[in-house]
Amino acid sequence: MSKPLSDHERKKQISVRGLAGVENVTELKTNFNRHLHFTLVKDRIVATKRDYYFALANTVRDHLVGRWIRTQQHYYNKDPKRVYYISLEFYMGRTLQNTMVNLALENACDEATYQLGLDMEELQEMEEDAGLGNGGLGRLAACFLDSMASLGLAAYGYGIRYEFGIFNQKIVNGWQVEEADDWLRFGNPWEKARPEYMRPVKFYGRTEHHPDGVKWLDAQVVLALPYDTPIPGYRNNIVNTMRLWSAKAPCEFNLKDFNVGGYIQAVLDRNLAENISRVLYPNDNFFEGKELRLKQEYFVVSATLQDIIRRFKVSKFGSREIVRTDFSKLPDKVAIQLNDTHPAMAIPELMRVLVDEEQLPWDKAWDICVRTCAYTNHTVLPEALERWPTDLFAYLLPRHLEIIYEINRRHLENVAARFPGDCDRLRRMSLVEEGGQKRINMAHLCIVGSHAVNGVAQIHSDILTATIFKDFYEMEPHKFQNKTNGITPRRWLVMCNPGLAEVIAERIGEDFIRDLDQLKGLLKFINDESFIRDIAKIKQENKLKFAAHLEEHYKVKINPNSMFDIQVKRIHEYKRQLLNCLHMITYYNRIKKNPNKQWTPRTVMIGGKAAPGYHTAKMIIRLITAIGEVINNDPVVGDRLKVIFLENYRVTLAEKAIPAADLSQQISTAGTEASGTGNMKFMLNGALTIGTMDGANVEMAEEAGDGNLFIFGMRVDDVDALDRKGYHAAEYYNRLPELKQAMDQISGGFFSPKQPDLFKEIVNMLMHHDRFKVFADYEDYIKCQETVNDLYKNPKEWTKKVIYNIAGSGKFSSDRTIAQYAREIWGMEPTLEKIPAPDDIPQ
């Protein structure tokens, strides 16, 4: 079998990596050496690999800076409408290679480093992931930034510069152990501190009402220090900005008492203020109502709105003079998109600024606020919805609680006028939940305070209007929209799978990278023997490369001819990694029972982090590792079935695993996964999907053709019907012998002989209180997996289905998603035009 191709000469032929012109390469080498010279401290003669990485990063960054300045000048001259995407998470991963792809520098940099005796891939491995997100929501924000820049939109991502991102996951004796992610330890070459734009953010204190307005007094001040990261568009010379705020204590913080002991303590207490941006909360789809989290949410919102309003008031480049004072024009110049309810405080904060500081009348301010803000919902799981106790609000943000009460009073007046006498509807639609502890429902605040509300896949948007937001939909149907999620084809195809990008470009040209719908053009090659061969060959190369990576890092040997069956996502009951476990056990039992049969060999890989406080999710990881210990050491099975837990799943590991996958598992209970985006990445990279009719899977089946995905299980209506009838796990357990056998093995200690009752909580949950109905889909799932095995034995037919999937994945570009947000929510027009590069002479 041919060895993996990371070979320099082969790479040079890949046209999507850009041209390596002689002048270009010479200039890069000169700049690299200059940066290396300045990077090295005088007394250090020998450069380390990290020194080389920083020299390369700074060399590439030089190519961004001129374009970055030029882009901002371009925006100030044209004064376009600007969109502000506010998110508590931006899961960016690494920046170096993505920047080279978008600037068409990859081949030139490769050649320059090669001539300097260095291996560019090795240098890329030195970069830390920017892991400022938990999963889908944070990674979506990162894809959106790439698309907004590539579509020429004047866009800004605003978030928090967490000192510690998502924890690093270690597996120790089969258990997850968390380790702090000190990603800034060696410095970050991609960010630029902007202390000149530091902003004060207030907390605590009290309010006073005067005839001339309301004053917020005795508040504690924390400073927000911005760090800017450049966001390059794809080969259009546009470079937008992601601005992340870091918390700083003001100089006068706590220095009221001036005796020596008090002074030392006061300086040490500065940490308390600066803790706001210390660490990302590691929960995915779960609300933890902690004071520090609410502080983070208000911190990003307050600093960002000050920045938005400053930029609205001055419109000329480099000028700080105020030229705009008429706020009625704000919605014509500013769009604010709230990524879930985490930045919901933008609504009362904008009202506070307009009413208390800019002295606008309430009605005018409210009209401006609603026309400016829009809200994206990401989940229907009740435990994920943010509901903040009013007493915490009263203490931390007293003025905002008053504003929310006033918003609610007027909102309920409107509801009562529209639906007279319907008291239950008033209770359901209130922003304030009574009964027990009073709470603010942040989703309700977002709906009332926005002009557009969207779900992230058609089925999800339909569920919103039919269930949790039904009352609001009946009152204001015009607000509700769908915007199916997407992924950027730059990172998730060109960068992570250049071999596939190249065989596509050979058939249909390179324009598909900007317009992914052009992948439909591959349908005419569906019976082309050479194309089928090329697609299969690239997949095999990617599998060999990933197998080598696993061997090097996990010391596991895997069969590269086996089916690579992959489920990578956060560990959560609703994502049903347990259903996958039941299949692995069932397949194992079948091989043991009939060891001489021709079984389709599989390597099952599961990866993902469990929230540190989510006990069940941690037990699921322990079960996966325990199953692996038994199966991987059973000589009867050999290399026909292997189970691997992929440790520390993150953006950078996804970039290696996804191009190597044959089968993608997307098996959530219908109606629980809002969209999913990993599903789209696998589809684009030539894996087939086994999945339920949930989230974007539904639209993937529509685009690729129903028969080209392995669809199984209950639909949303079936789940609802089963809820009404009552779900009884024991009925399935007693009726299905293979399910019973698998469960008995888990509960009887077959996978944990030293601790036979290790998994008793999981067994008890599955048997008695499984909200996600794993057993109800087991039988159909196992049958569906049999059809997967059968098809895999016919490589040509398998590869044809792969081509249908790749050809059908155009819809799932984040360029399409962002073009729809721009036109249908923000009132902006995307453009594919290039602006002049800094070295172009204007005509």
Backbone angles phi, psi at 808, to 5 degrees: -95, 5
Name the percent of the chain lying above pLDDT 90.
90
CA angle 2, 564, 661 (to 5 degrees): 85
The single residue of 61, 67, 342, 570 carrying the catalytic annotation is 570
Residue 677 bears catalytic tag: yes
Residue 570 bears catalytic tag: yes
The single residue of 70, 74, 161, 378 carrying the catalytic annotation is 378
Q: Does position 318 have pLDDT exceeding 60, yes or no? A: no
Helix (H, G, I), strand (E, B) or coil at 285: coil
Q: Does position 631 have pLDDT exceeding 50, yes or no? A: yes
Residue 479 bears catalytic tag: no
Mean per-residue pLDDT, 514-530: 98
d(CA 335, CA 83): 5
Predicted confidence at residue 71, as pLDDT, reads 96
Tokens for 647? 């440790």
Predicted confidence at residue 1, as pLDDT, reads 47
Predicted confidence at residue 711, as pLDDT, reads 98
Q: Does position 432 have pLDDT exceeding 70, yes or no? A: yes
Residue 642 bears catalytic tag: no
The single residue of 29, 35, 399, 575 carrying the catalytic annotation is 575
pLDDT in tens, 77-120: 899 999 999 999 999 999 999 999 999 999 999 999 999 999 99
Contact 814, 148 (CB under 8 A): no
- DSSP E strands in 161-235: the ranges are 168-172, 175-179, 192-193, 199-203, 206-210, 213-217, 220-232
Contact 119, 113 (CB under 8 A): yes
Q: Does position 842 have pLDDT exceeding 50, yes or no? A: no
Confidence of residue 799 (pLDDT cuts 50, 70, 90): very high
Q: Is 767 exposed, middle or buried (0-12, 13-18, 19+ CB in 10 A)?
A: middle
Q: Does position 612 have pLDDT exceeding 80, yes or no? A: yes
Mean per-residue pLDDT, 435-443: 95
The single residue of 677, 692, 799, 817 carrying the catalytic annotation is 677
Predicted confidence at residue 635, as pLDDT, reads 97
Helix (H, G, I), strand (E, B) or coil at 117: coil
- Lowest-pLDDT range, 265-269, 515-519, 695-699, 720-724? 265-269
Predicted confidence at residue 530, as pLDDT, reads 98
CA-closest candidate to residue 295, choices 378, 202, 214: 202
Tokens for 287? 């609300």
- DSSP E strands in 420-500: the ranges are 432-433, 439-441, 452-455, 480-482
Confidence of residue 3 (pLDDT cuts 50, 70, 90): low
pLDDT in tens, 38-61: 877 656 778 999 999 999 999 999
Q: Tell me which long-range contacts 293-298 makes (C-beta under 8 A, separation of at least 24).
A: 294/388, 294/392, 294/393, 294/396, 294/397, 295/203, 295/396, 296/88, 296/160, 297/88, 297/342, 297/343, 297/344, 297/345, 298/201, 298/203, 298/345, 298/349, 298/396, 298/397, 298/400
Predicted confidence at residue 320, as pLDDT, reads 65
The single residue of 248, 490, 539, 569 carrying the catalytic annotation is 569
- DSSP H or E segment with residue 641: strand 641-646
- DSSP H or E segment with residue 82: strand 82-86
CA-closest candidate to residue 486, choices 141, 747, 218, 768: 141
Mean pLDDT score across all residues of the chain: 95
Mean per-residue pLDDT, 533-542: 98
Q: Does position 317 have pLDDT exceeding 70, yes or no? A: no
pLDDT in tens, 572-595: 999 999 999 999 999 999 999 999
pLDDT in tens, 343-359: 999 999 999 999 999 99
d(CA 133, CA 404): 28
pLDDT in tens, 680-738: 999 999 999 999 999 999 999 999 999 999 999 999 999 999 999 999 999 999 999 99
Predicted confidence at residue 6, as pLDDT, reads 55
Q: Does position 544 have pLDDT exceeding 90, yes or no? A: yes
- Lowest-pLDDT range, 154-168, 311-325, 397-411, 502-516? 311-325
Confidence of residue 286 (pLDDT cuts 50, 70, 90): confident
Residue 378 bears catalytic tag: yes
Q: Does position 843 have pLDDT exceeding 50, yes or no? A: no
